[in-house]
Amino acid sequence: MGLKNILIISEDKTDQLVLSSSLQRAVPSRFNVTIATSLERPLDALMDRNNDAVILAHAPETDYLLRLAQKNDVTVPIIVLLAEASAATVSRVKGLGARDFLLRSNIQDDLLHRILDYSIELGNAKQKIQSLSNRDALTGVLNRTGFRAHVERAIARSERYQTNTALIYINIDQFTNINDQYGEGAGDQAIKMIARRLSNKKRNTDSVARLGGDEFAVVLEDVSAETNVDMVSEKMMMSITEPMRLNEQQVSIEVSVGASVCPDNGVRFEDLVEAARNAMTQAKAVPGNKYFRFNDQLTFNSGGSTSLSAELRQAVRNDQFELYYQPRINLKTEKVVGLEALLRWNHPERGMIRPDEFLPLCENMGLMKTVGHRVIEKACSAINWLDTQGLADVDVAVNVSFSQFQDERFTDIVKDIVGESGIDPRRLEFELTESVVLKSPDEVTHRMEELRRMGHSFSLDDFGTGFSQLSHMTDLPISALKIDKSFVKDIPTNRHQEAVCMMIIDMAQRLDLLVIAEGAEEQEQVDFLKGVNCHQVQGFYYSPAIPLTQIPRFAEEQLFKESLFSHTVD
Ligand code: C2E
Ligand code: CA
Ligand code: CA
């Protein structure tokens, strides 16, 4: 193992001595210490790539230094040395991006070494994953991470030079139809074509991103007037909806497009995306290609008379929602150990509709809480039913969105539902995404703690896609990470995805967390995941989400396969 360079910044001789002698005592020897009393060029020192970690003694300029580091995307972990651990100081320095803190009165060798090892480890993982995953593997345009980074830079420039930045949000209507009708290969081809067409229309300072299966976004820097945004959006819409050839056939797609403008509609990444997405959802309610720019009235209108929102209201009233359950398999035993409850809208005419198509609208219309409570009720009944089928060791996980989790009555509601159903709370898990946590870290962590005390556990969903503030993770009461399916999809041909999976698994093991890989569709992917000691897999290779009544039979088949397997090995 190479030596790690630790920079100690303190004017205090005792600090310097205590820390450096403790670091010299590390076994195996692994720290190389540099001491600075004051920083003449603080930013240069913090940006110096030779440093693996910085220990910064708390002083009047500490807040300033941390802010400076945060502003300049300094990646080296900074650990603050405090005289006393008052809750206010600790939360302030952490809020300013410090990775961790040490107490002057309590510097013990193994604690200090562990904090450093750990911070360096997290820092490296964060950097590596960031560098590996700025681009979408299929199209080469930015992915969510890269998109966020560009938007944040553009917002900063907008503020500095008083210009406008616009976001265009594009969703392809009924993309699943293309997959179903022409095959997934053709679906991929269509996605690539759209990325290419958007890229051809953009200027040098703009960028194109793919945000999800059938969603794209464009960042427009320095747009002069809002009408300009409308013009560019319409132009892009026209270009991508021109007929394309797929499998020797002319195919036309339809899209819904929304746009938002910084600073008018917000000056934070989340707000701008939400505004553009809101506008897109509005556009979706109108048939055909449609573009809307965000304005405040839109959110009111969504309660209105458009047919989809009217149907959705009706659906909630008549409870046309069902839960399907996707099995989670333990890779060592091949047994079903859990189920993820996934929502389906059983539409009287249109058949089963997937959540991505209606949940955003549910959120916009304020229906998410009602729907979410029913999901929990149904999941609890499912647990009771599983017991009667001899499947008392199968847990059930439900997804929770921010609007549900932010409701201060959430804990009480869960308590009521769980109490009434009589299930063992340990069998009901919740899945949260990093973005839910980041929207309001303190409130969310507090609520998670409450629910954990009641016996529930948490998984961090879609892990690897947000990745802005990995350091929060260590504070969260989670027991599992779910590797997002975008990192599993192209294994074994994509080395980068393999590297990301291995790193997440490795890190989870150090943090004592369970790892569940999502989206494994092929035998090779499952073999790879087994090889790198991933604990559980959830993916079409084993099963898509199916009705609850089909689960006992599936579980039995898995047992049967396992027994066959163990016999052939013996
Ligand atoms: P998610 O939590 O990431 O759920 C996993 C999604 O990946 C599911 O899509 C599942 O069908 C799909 N999937 C699983 N294995 C594979 C695979 O091998 N290949 C591919 N291509 N896909 C796979 P689904 O059911 O359409 O759900 C989409 C999203 O909707 C979920 O993503 C979740 O964020 C949200 N959602 C679903 N049910 C609920 C719910 O009850 N409440 C809330 N708040 N959100 C929900
Ligand atoms: Ca999930
Ligand atoms: Ca997921």
Tens digits of residue pLDDT in 425-449: 999 999 998 878 877 888 899 999 9
252 plus 385 within the same structural domain: no
Q: Find which of 58-72, 313-327, 345-359 is predicted with most confidence, using mean pLDDT.
A: 313-327
Look at residues 106, 133, 160 and tell me which one is the last residue of a structural domain. Answer: 133
The predicted structure's pLDDT at residue 569: 47
The predicted structure's pLDDT at residue 387: 97
Question: Rounded to an integer, what distance in angstroms lies between the CA atom of residue 98 and that of residue 54?
Answer: 10
The predicted structure's pLDDT at residue 40: 73
pLDDT, tens digit, 9 for 90 and up, residues 312-330: 888 988 899 999 999 999 9
The percentage of residues in the chain with a pLDDT greater than 70, rounded to a whole number, is: 94
74 plus 204 within the same structural domain: no
CB distance 436 to 405 below 8 Å: yes
CB distance 335 to 329 below 8 Å: yes
Q: Is the shortest distance between the CB of 356 and ligand 1 below 6 Å?
A: yes
pLDDT, tens digit, 9 for 90 and up, residues 379-425: 999 999 999 999 999 999 999 998 899 888 999 999 999 999 999 99
CB distance 118 to 102 below 8 Å: no
The overall average pLDDT reported for the chain is 88
The predicted structure's pLDDT at residue 467: 54
In CATH, what number is assigned to the domain containing residue 176? 3.30.70.270
In CATH, what number is assigned to the domain containing residue 518? 3.20.20.450
Ligand nearest to the CA of residue 328, numbered in listed order = 1
Q: Is the shortest distance between the CB of 357 and ligand 1 below 6 Å?
A: no
Across the strands, what pairs with 459? Answer: 431, 480
477 within some domain: yes
Q: What is the mean pLDDT of residues 360-385?
A: 92
Mutate to test the pocket of ligand 1, among 399, 541, 542 (most ligand atoms within 8 A of CB): 399
Q: How confident is the model at residue 303 (pLDDT cuts 50, 70, 90)?
A: very low
Is residue 468's pLDDT more than 70? Answer: no
User: Which residues have CB under 8 Å from 493's CB, separation 6+?
Assistant: none
User: Which residues have CB under 8 Å from 231's CB, separation 6+?
Assistant: none
Question: Rounded to an integer, what distance in angstroms lies between the CA atom of residue 501 and that of residue 507?
Answer: 10
Is residue 1's pLDDT more than 80? Answer: no
Q: What are the b/e assignments for 220-236, b being 16+ CB within 10 Å?
A: bbebeeeeebeebbeeb
Report how many helices (DSSP H) and strands (DSSP E) the chain contains, helices first: 21, 21
Domain of residue 67 covers 4-133
Across the strands, what pairs with 170? Answer: 216, 257
Is residue 566's pLDDT more than 70? Answer: no
Ligand nearest to the CA of residue 540, numbered in listed order = 1
The one-letter amino acid code at 246 reads L
Look at residues 133, 160, 187 and tell me which one is the last residue of a structural domain. Answer: 133
Helix, strand, or coil (residue 137): coil
The predicted structure's pLDDT at residue 570: 44
Residue 385's alpha-carbon distances to 194, 319, 343, 380, in angstroms, are 46, 20, 18, 9
473 plus 539 within the same structural domain: yes
224 plus 277 within the same structural domain: yes
Block residue for tokens 């959802």:
281
464 plus 530 within the same structural domain: yes
129 plus 148 within the same structural domain: no
Q: Which residue has the higher pLDDT, 223 or 295?
A: 223
Ligand nearest to the CA of residue 368, numbered in listed order = 1
Structure token pair of residue 90: 């600790």
308 within some domain: no
Is residue 125's pLDDT more than 50? Answer: yes
Q: Is the peptide bond before 492 cis (omega within 30 degrees of 0)?
A: yes
The predicted structure's pLDDT at residue 252: 85
Is residue 306's pLDDT more than 70? Answer: no
The predicted structure's pLDDT at residue 313: 86
Question: Rounded to an integer, what distance in angstroms lies between the CA atom of residue 432 and that of residue 444?
Answer: 10
- Alpha-helix residue ranges (DSSP H) falling in 257-367: 269-284, 297-301, 307-317, 355-364
Task: Please give the tally of structural domains in the chain.
Answer: 3
> Which residue's C-alpha comes closest to atom 17 of ligand 1?
519
198 plus 74 within the same structural domain: no
287 plus 422 within the same structural domain: no
127 plus 174 within the same structural domain: no
Q: What is the mean pLDDT of residues 71-98?
A: 87
pLDDT, tens digit, 9 for 90 and up, residues 483-518: 999 889 889 888 888 888 998 899 888 888 999 999
The predicted structure's pLDDT at residue 556: 94
Q: How confident is the model at residue 461 (pLDDT cuts 50, 70, 90)?
A: very high
139 within some domain: no
Residue 159 Cα to ligand 1 middle (Å): 37
Q: What is the mean pLDDT of residues 333-357?
A: 90
* Of the candidates 325, 321, 322, the residue with the CA atom closest to the CA atom of residue 543: 325
258 plus 183 within the same structural domain: yes
Q: Is the shortest distance between the CB of 213 and ligand 1 below 6 Å?
A: no
22 within some domain: yes
Strand order in the sheet with 255-262: 207-212, 215-223, 164-172, 255-262, 290-293
121 plus 178 within the same structural domain: no
Look at residues 76, 108, 133 and tell me which one is the last residue of a structural domain. Answer: 133
Is residue 469's pLDDT more than 80? Answer: no
Question: Rounded to an integer, what distance in angstroms lies between the CA atom of residue 297 and that of residue 281?
Answer: 13
Q: How confident is the model at residue 301 (pLDDT cuts 50, 70, 90)?
A: very low
